[in-house]
Every structure is written in C-alpha cells, then in structure tokens.
C-alpha cells in the first residue's frame, strides 16, 4: 500500500506530517509530490529532507497527474480543489484534507469529487453534506494540532528566538489577503515593548512579489528588539503557538487553531482591501471570506482599529478566561476532537478502505 501526498504549496505540509507519521508507524509507504518553484527550491528541499520525507518534484499539475497514473498509489491526498480528479480514480483513490480551516473558500474545495474528504467538526460536516449530498465525508478532527497534544513537535524556547522569557508573548499571524498587515502602525512593536512579539505571516506574504508592501513592513518590524520575525524556513506555526500567550490575527485559520487550544486571541477585523473588493464590488470580499468568519467574534476579542487592538491586548491577557466557554464550544463545533488522535483516525480509514 502506498499513500502519496500532493503538496501544492510548502505550507500545506504541517497538516499532513502527523498523518504521515501515523501511516509509517503502521508500515505504510508515503511519498510527497512537490511543485517546483525556483524562488523556493532550496527552502523546500531543506524542509523535506529535514523531515526525512521521500519526495518527487514536478513542474505542474499535468506532470503530477502523469506521475500518479504511472505510479498508481493506493491513495493520493490533496489539500485543495483538484480539477478532473475523476481521471485519477482508475488506479487510485483520492482524499481531501483541507490545508486550513479558515473561512476562505472552505466549502468550494469539495466541488472536486474526491473519494473521501476528512472534515473537522459537526458544523462543517453538516454544511458539506447539505451542499454535496453525494460526496463522502468523515469527521476526524484537525490533524495539524496532534503534535501539540502529543508533544511531538520540534521544541523551541523564547531564548532560542532571542526573546525575553520573563515577558508575555504575542503571536501575530496574519493571512496574506485580506490582511491587517498594512493597517498596523509603522512602529507598532515599539508600542508593545513590554511584550515579546512573534510575527508569523502567511507563507505568500514572505516572498510573493505582489506582496512587496508586506515585506517592507516585515523588514522594518524585525529591527525591534522585542520581535522575532519568522522567515521562509519557519514552515510550521506549531512551535510558535505553543510558546505564545495570545494570538492576534485577521482572516487566518490560525484563529481557530489557536483558540481550539483554549488560548485567548484578538481578531483584527480591519483590512487593507484592494479597490476591486471595495464599494459596489464588496460582494467579492464576502464571497472570498464567507459567513463563517462571524465565528471569530465568538472565540476572540473583536477589534476594528489599531488603537482598540492595543487596548484589547492588556485586557485579554489580564483576563485570559474571558470567552473560555465560547472557545470550548466552538472547538467542538468547528475543529472537532482535539485529542491528539486525529491523524490515527485518518490513517486507519485510509488503511481499512485502501
């Protein structure tokens, strides 16, 4: 039995590594297919070899499809929508493990008819079953969080990052779009110099040319002595989540991941929107985000401007139990079981139905 993982983007990998560990512990061969990106090639090779993965690089989805049809793996695991996925079913079964659980286009991924989609929580399960009654969905939970529960991730300390272990630590983890990055004050880390700040942006924000304004912000912020600025080699956010006391984020699925650990968060409900998403075109923003972002207000303190964010940080850290009941309720509803056994459940399903 062979299980192949289709890695469209490197930041998908932390979601799949726990599943790979569970599969290999049962003697299943795993292989990772990555897509060549000249600007990231060295970073990708370094990371997959660090994780001791068997891997193959392909140029594009057509080459990947040919590779799968030649190798004929038992299962191919994808992280997003796949065009003409049915063509692969002659020799292989396909599984969808969505690369994130945020509100952006979460449900549209099932427009491709994978053999099975693994789902996080009853809310998403019921929504998907309503929209795609003929598809196969299995509620397993969110595998990415398993290493935190099992303490199986690569540990880091604040000292390792050059930060002060005597200070509370803020994790700022914005997505690339729509993002709050350009809405923060130019020197905002200096306004919070009594805290450590770990900045872990979306992978795209770190290298995409069209996001060069984000990179200018990062270059400036990382000069502050209380800041650790994550780079492309920091693929997984898991180690940062474990050592942080509070999360600040916008439309990122990190919001649901962090609060599922019953940790407090602040939702920066203010964004720098492109002109094509404003005014009469604001429907594009609503279509991209979806109504599920409203759940963020239940698990996190919602702020609508930078000034309110600063005030909220002190308040939330002084009262971390605030919204604890809602966090636990939303965890069960939107993330499912957080018991460290999600990857085992996925592995057992793949093996038993392979």
* Residue 324 domain boundaries: 169-335
75 lies in a domain?
yes
The tens digit of pLDDT for each residue in 259-318 reads 999 999 999 998 876 555 555 555 455 555 656 788 999 999 999 999 999 999 999 999
Burial code (b: 16+ CB inside 10 Å, e: under 16) for 161-183 equals bebeeebebbbbbbbbbbbbbeb
239 lies in a domain?
yes
Lowest mean pLDDT among 121-125, 135-139, 268-272, 347-351: 268-272
Residues 328 and 341 in one domain: no
Residues 22 and 106 in one domain: yes
Q: Which pLDDT value is given to residue 104?
A: 62
Q: Which pLDDT value is given to residue 22?
A: 98
Q: Which pLDDT value is given to residue 58?
A: 98
Q: CATH code at 191?
A: 3.40.50.2000
Residues 219 and 231 in one domain: yes
Residues 328 and 191 in one domain: yes
151 lies in a domain?
no
Residues 221 and 211 in one domain: yes
The tens digit of pLDDT for each residue in 187-243 reads 999 999 999 999 999 999 999 999 999 999 999 999 999 999 999 999 999 999 999
Q: Which pLDDT value is given to residue 297?
A: 93
Q: Which pLDDT value is given to residue 312?
A: 97
Residues 289 and 175 in one domain: yes
Cα 344 to Cα 328: distance, rounded to the nearest angstrom: 23
Residues 10 and 72 in one domain: yes
Residues 318 and 343 in one domain: no
Cα 96 to Cα 69: distance, rounded to the nearest angstrom: 18
225: its two tokens: 């002595």
Residues 138 and 247 in one domain: no
Residues 135 and 35 in one domain: yes
187 lies in a domain?
yes
Residues 77 and 201 in one domain: no
Residues 250 and 342 in one domain: no
**Residue 76: strand pairing partners:** 4, 94
| pLDDT above 60: residue 49 | yes
30 lies in a domain?
yes
Q: Is the peptide bond before 274 cis (omega within 30 degrees of 0)?
A: no
Structurally, the chain folds into a number of domains equal to 2
């Amino acid at each position: 039995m062979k299980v192949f993982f289709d890695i469209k983007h490197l930041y998908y990998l932390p979601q799949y590594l726990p599943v790979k560990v569970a599969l290999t512990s049962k003697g299943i061969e795993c292989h990772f297919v990555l897509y060549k990106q000249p600007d990231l090639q060295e970073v990708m090779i370094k990371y997959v070899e660090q994780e001791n993965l068997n891997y193959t690089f392909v140029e594009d989805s057509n080459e990947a499809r040919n590779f799968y049809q030649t190798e004929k793996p038992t299962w191919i695991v994808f992280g997003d929508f796949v065009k003409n996925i049915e063509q692969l079913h002659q020799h292989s079964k396909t599984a969808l493990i969505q690369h994130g659980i945020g509100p952006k286009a979460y449900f549209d991924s099932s427009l491709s008819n994978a053999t099975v989609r693994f789902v996080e929580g009853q809310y998403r399960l019921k929504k998907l079953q309503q929209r795609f009654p003929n598809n196969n969905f299995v509620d397993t939970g969110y595998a990415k969080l398993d290493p935190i529960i099992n303490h199986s991730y690569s540990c880091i300390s604040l000292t390792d990052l050059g930060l002060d272990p005597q200070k509370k630590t803020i994790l700022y983890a914005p997505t690339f779009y729509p993002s709050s990055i350009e809405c923060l004050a130019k020197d905002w880390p200096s306004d919070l110099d009594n805290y450590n700040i770990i900045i872990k942006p979306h992978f795209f924000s770190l290298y995409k040319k069209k996001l060069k304004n984000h990179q200018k912000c990062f270059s400036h912020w990382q000069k502050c002595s209380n800041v650790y600025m994550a780079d492309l080699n920091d693929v997984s956010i898991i180690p940062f989540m474990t050592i942080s006391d509070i999360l600040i984020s916008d439309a990122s699925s990190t919001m649901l991941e962090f609060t599922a650990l019953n940790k407090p968060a602040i939702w920066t409900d203010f964004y720098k929107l492109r002109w094509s998403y404003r005014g009469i075109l604001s429907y594009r923003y609503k279509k991209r985000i979806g109504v599920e972002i409203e759940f963020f207000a239940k698990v996190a303190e919602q702020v609508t401007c930078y000034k309110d964010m600063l005030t909220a940080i002190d308040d939330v850290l002084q009262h971390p139990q605030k919204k604890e009941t809602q966090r636990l309720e939303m965890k069960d509803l939107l993330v499912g079981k957080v018991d460290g056994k999600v990857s085992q459940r996925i592995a057992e399903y793949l093996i038993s139905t392979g």
